[in-house]
Chain A
Amino acid sequence: AQSVSQHNHHVILSEAASLELGCNYSYGGTVNLFWYVQYPGQHLQLLLKYFSGDPLVKGIKGFEAEFIKSKFSFNLRKPSVQWSDTAEYFCAVATGRRALTFGSGTRLQVQP
Chain B
Amino acid sequence: EAGVAQSPRYKIIEKRQSVAFWCNPISGHATLYWYQQILGQGPKLLIQFQNNGVVDDSQLPKDRFSAERLKGVDSTLKIQPAKLEDSAVYLCASSQPGIYEQYFGPGTRLTVT
Q: Which residues of A contact B (CB under 8 A)?
A: 4, 6, 32, 34, 36, 42-46, 49, 51, 90, 92, 94, 97-105
Contacts and interface: CB of A to CB of B under 8 A. Distances in A.
A104 B42 contact: yes
Contacts of B106: 42-43
A6 B41 CA distance: 11
Q: What is the interface residue range for chain B against chain A?
A: 20 to 34
B85 to A, nearest CB: 17
B43 A102 contact: yes
Given A43-B107, A44-B43, 16 more contacts: A32-B100, A43-B105, A44-B91, A45-B104, A46-B102, A51-B100, A90-B42, A92-B42, A98-B95, A98-B100, A99-B55, A100-B43, A100-B45, A102-B42, A105-B41, A105-B42
Contact of A4 (B42, B104, B107): B42
A99 B91 contact: no
Contacts, number: 57
Interface in B10-42: 31, 33, 35, 40-42
Contacts of B3: 43
A99 B48 contact: yes
B40 A104 contact: yes
A97 B44 contact: no
A99 B42 contact: no
B102 A100 contact: yes
Interface of B: 3, 31, 33, 35, 40-45, 48, 55-56, 91, 93, 95, 99-107
Nearest to B59: A99
A46 B101 CA distance: 8
A108 B56 CA distance: 32
B27 to A, nearest CB: 18
A98 B35 CA distance: 13
